[in-house]
Amino acid sequence: MEEHFHSVRLTTDRCQGCVSCTKRCPTEAIRIRGGKAQIISLRCIDCGECIRHCPCRAKAALTDDLADLKNFQYNIALPAPSLYGHFSADIPVDAILSGLINLGFDDVFEVAQGAEIVTLAIRDYLKRPDIIRPAISSACPAVVRLIQVKFPELIDHLVPFDAPVEVAARIARAEAAKALGIEADKIGVWFITPCPAKMTAVRRPLGSEKSNITGAIAINKIFNDLLKVVTADNQLVKSKASWVGVGWAVSGGETSAIDAENMLAVNDIQNVIDVLEQVALGKLKEVDYIEVLACAGGCIGGALTAENRHVIEFNMKKRIKKKKSLDPTAGRLPRETYTDFELGSAGRRAIEPIPALRLDEDIAKAMSKIEIMDKTLKTLPGLDCGSCGSPNCKALAEDIAQGLANKTDCVFILRKRTRDLAFAMVDLAVKLPPPLDKDHNDDY
């Protein structure tokens, strides 16, 4: 496991040092120093907000490439259901899956299948009387990390299951190893991802020691190539997932798949923060389950998608409706059972808090830093303009208390000090004794 791996990176050459990203980051993880953005690793949850809002496109997500397939004997693509929404509903899922084979994969396994298994597991879980309510979905890795950083008190609310993609990867790898008789680690299992946080979760898994996913390839990286090979008459592969799993791509899909009473679906990171704050205050106890997705609209709004999210949403909704009406006859029926192996609930690790907001490991030192922060904050203008490179005045005060910034990083303080200095210089100049240059005395 790579302790500090983040998928979200900065392309320093492109960064103009504007403050757009610092203002959007939900964990205040970005600072502009020396004219360039820097990400505080411990705080970053890989939500992709900074990628979405960077006007210079200097923020990007590190993902894998199709070229990496050559390192494995056999390669399986795990398409996120949101990929289907990139195509109009007239293009069958079978054709999209077959297109992936044309790109060089040996097989495909739909993440939506994993979602169906997780759906069933959550249904069973919610029947238990002893669980902490509201149970919170653990499907979005950005939200899980948000909880680790900002709401550690809610960790026990998270449902103790892997995200659908992890479940899908485990089954895909095991099935292929058995069927083909090759070693499991010679099989490449690649997530076709809308999402940088999921890329990070491959390298730094949540809740398990090692991910079953080999790597993640961004949808926007392969979409162009895929478009060229997807045609309605190329349908080699048969889709196996029903609407239940496919629906998870759109906000609200998870709750409607689980179909219990008293559920809430929330999307977009700021809304997610708002609702988690309410849960932390002991409210919403009558709610059984909260679906929380960091992206606006759900995974269809992921930072690595290749289409406008409203277009994807439209396509998805149409597709899901179609699938629902087809199901009893020609389409796939939702699954009804799952095994413990498929779910992978054995050997799950506890999710630990990440103390990224703590000012110091020593509480006495942290207290004096708070005191400095407070004093400093009173002297700052309170405009939250962000020109200093910290997201707001409070964050600058914190950075000063940490010894990471100076008061004069604030342009208003700098201006005032400069003006004061100028006045002082004029003052001094006036008080100076007359020139001692005797030769010019006559000129006066």
Partner 1 sequence: MPLRQGVILEFELEGSDFNGAGEASSKIKRTLQQLGIRHEIIRRIAISAYEAEMNVIIHAYRGVVKAAIYQDRTELTVQDEGPGIADIELAMKEGYSTAPAHIRELGFGAGMGLPNMVRCTDKFDIKTEAGVGTRLSMTIYH
Residues that bind ligand SF4 (CB under 6 A): 8, 24-25, 27, 29-30, 39, 44-50, 140-142, 194-195, 197-198, 293-295, 298-299, 302
**Residue 420's binding partner, choosing from partner 1, ligand SF4, none, with beta-carbon cut-off 5 to 8 A by kind?**
none
Report in angstroms how near the CB of residue 326 gets to ligand SF4 at its nearest.
26
Report in angstroms how near the CB of residue 267 gets to partner 1 at its nearest.
22
Q: Which is nearer to ligand SF4, 95 or 294 (CB)?
A: 294
Q: Which is nearer to partner 1, 57 or 358 (CB)?
A: 358
Report in angstroms how near the CB of residue 365 gets to ligand SF4 at its nearest.
26
Q: Which is nearer to ligand SF4, 171 or 300 (CB)?
A: 300
Q: Which is nearer to partner 1, 154 or 343 (CB)?
A: 154
**Residue 368's binding partner, choosing from ligand SF4, partner 1, none, with beta-carbon cut-off 5 to 8 A by kind?**
partner 1
Q: Which is nearer to partner 1, 106 or 360 (CB)?
A: 360
Report in angstroms how near the CB of residue 352 gets to partner 1 at its nearest.
11
Phi and psi at 431, nearest 5°, equal -80, -10
**Residue 361's binding partner, choosing from partner 1, ligand SF4, none, with beta-carbon cut-off 5 to 8 A by kind?**
partner 1
**Residue 197's binding partner, choosing from ligand SF4, partner 1, none, with beta-carbon cut-off 5 to 8 A by kind?**
ligand SF4
Residue type, 255: T
Per-residue tokens: 35? 């004219």
**Residue 355's binding partner, choosing from partner 1, ligand SF4, none, with beta-carbon cut-off 5 to 8 A by kind?**
partner 1
Q: Which is nearer to partner 1, 317 or 394 (CB)?
A: 394
Residue type, 2: E
Residue 437 to residue 86: CA distance in whole angstroms: 82
Rg (CA), the chain: 27
- Which of 136, 143, 159, 129 minimizes the C-alpha distance to 284? 136
**Residue 386's binding partner, choosing from ligand SF4, partner 1, none, with beta-carbon cut-off 5 to 8 A by kind?**
none
Q: Which is nearer to ligand SF4, 53 or 123 (CB)?
A: 53
Report in angstroms how near the CB of residue 362 gets to ligand SF4 at its nearest.
27
Residue 96 to residue 79: CA distance in whole angstroms: 9
Q: Contact residues for partner 1 (CB under 8 A)? A: 150, 152-153, 277, 280-282, 353, 355, 357-361, 363-364, 366-371, 398
**Residue 110's binding partner, choosing from partner 1, ligand SF4, none, with beta-carbon cut-off 5 to 8 A by kind?**
none
Report in angstroms how near the CB of residue 53 gets to ligand SF4 at its nearest.
8
Report in angstroms how near the CB of residue 133 gets to ligand SF4 at its nearest.
22
**Residue 277's binding partner, choosing from partner 1, ligand SF4, none, with beta-carbon cut-off 5 to 8 A by kind?**
partner 1
Residue 289 to residue 133: CA distance in whole angstroms: 7
